């Protein structure tokens, strides 16, 4: 069953695994079903990996995950000969240990490289032949021919410029591109409900407030990059447990706001990245966001 012949049937089944990503699923499916490689550009926590996992599961092929960083050498990407066996047997195809690129080509899987623009230039150049010719010559092994479903999928964070490099035109010319931004508030609330699975009268109030303050971290003037929806998920999970420890009910309006702030410190302080030019702590930024939500504009935080 080829992806080209099943793309229409696959779209709905793949979309069922995600919330509010119908357009991105459709565009990504169209690109990979057309046999194209693609870079997904967007911040962490925007369902890029979930979308790719849903597609590869639907097609019955593997998803090879690689983290792009300075340590990702061509040998780590392509593979290497087992040193102990080389000493005993000399070099041979039998003692070659396939790397994720070779394995993805041989199995027809997706090679997914996160933080693509953090990988060294010589490592990215190794991908050029694989992307252009769908084959790769490996010394003492031979020519590796990619199966038809092999794709190179990359992801990049547009807000991160520390330790990144500008991609060469040779690389970008071989990649399609799709911007994947944060979902809207309604979609993020649905995600938090699905992932955190909060129960009881406190649940709806917590979810709405958690999403609101998490989204506010992305707009604060001192924050270079705010938290993804994962922060809201953890905020709700932590707050539920903290409410039980402190015996706080949904109607306890005097103690509820501080419950949310303490949960924000735990779940969000490590996820927000403060502008280097500003001398302020993550906790102080979170206190400002909390005050905006619960003190300056308390109507936003009213139950329901």
Whether 272 and 175 share a structural domain: no
> Can you state the angle between helices 185-196 and 202-216, rounded to 10 degrees?
130
Whether residues 246 and 161 fall in one domain: no
Range of the domain at 270: 185-301
Q: Over its length of 304 residues, how does the chain's per-residue pLDDT go in tens digits?
A: 445 446 777 887 888 888 888 899 999 999 999 999 999 999 999 999 999 999 999 999 999 999 999 899 999 999 987 766 655 676 666 778 899 999 999 999 999 999 998 999 889 988 988 999 999 998 888 999 999 999 999 999 887 666 677 888 989 999 999 999 999 999 999 999 999 998 888 988 999 999 999 999 999 999 999 999 999 999 999 999 999 999 998 889 999 999 999 999 999 999 999 998 999 999 999 999 999 999 886 655 555 4
Q: What is the largest CA-CA distance in the chain?
A: 74
Per-residue pLDDT of 5-16, as tens digits, reads 467 778 878 888
Residue 17 burial (CB count, 10 A): 16
Are 174 and 193 found together in one domain? no
- Please report, for the domain that includes residue 136, its CATH number: 3.40.50.300
User: CA 125 to CA 86: how far, in whole Å?
Assistant: 27
- Which CATH number fits the domain that encloses residue 286? 1.10.8
Closest CA to 184 of 223, 145, 218, 137: 218
Check whether residue 114 and residue 209 sit in a common domain.
no
220 shares a domain with 80: no
| Domain endpoint, select from 179, 196, 215 | 179
């Amino acid at each position: 069953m080829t992806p080209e012949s099943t793309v229409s049937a696959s779209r709905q089944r793949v979309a069922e695994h995600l919330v509010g990503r119908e357009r991105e699923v459709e565009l990504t499916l169209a690109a990979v079903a057309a046999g194209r490689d693609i870079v997904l550009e967007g911040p962490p926590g925007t369902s890029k990996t979930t979308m790719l996992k849903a597609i590869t599961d639907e097609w019955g092929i593997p998803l090879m995950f690689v983290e792009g960083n300075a340590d990702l050498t061509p040998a780590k990407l392509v593979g290497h000969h087992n040193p102990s066996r080389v000493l005993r047997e000399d070099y041979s195809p039998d003692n070659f240990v396939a790397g994720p690129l070779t394995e993805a080509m041989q199995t027809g899987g997706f090679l997914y490289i996160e933080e693509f623009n953090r990988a060294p230039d010589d490592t990215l150049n190794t991908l050029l032949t694989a992307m252009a010719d769908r084959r790769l010559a490996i010394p003492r092994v031979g020519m590796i021919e990619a199966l038809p479903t092999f794709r190179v999928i990359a992801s990049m964070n547009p807000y991160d410029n520390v330790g990144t490099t500008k991609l060469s035109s040779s690389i970008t010319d071989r990649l399609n591109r799709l911007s994947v931004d944060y979902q809207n508030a309604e979609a993020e609330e649905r995600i938090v409900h699905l992932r955190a699975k909060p129960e009881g009268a406190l649940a709806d109030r917590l979810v709405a407030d958690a999403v609101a303050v998490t989204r506010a971290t992305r707009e604060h003037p001192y924050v270079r990059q705010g938290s993804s929806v994962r922060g809201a998920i953890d905020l709700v999970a932590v707050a539920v447990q903290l409410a039980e420890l402190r015996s706080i009910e949904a109607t306890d309006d005097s103690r509820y706001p501080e419950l949310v702030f303490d949960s924000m410190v735990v779940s969000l302080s490590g996820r927000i990245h403060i502008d280097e030019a500003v001398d302020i702590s993550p906790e102080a930024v979170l206190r400002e966001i909390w005050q905006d939500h619960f003190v300056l504009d308390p109507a936003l935080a009213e139950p329901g």
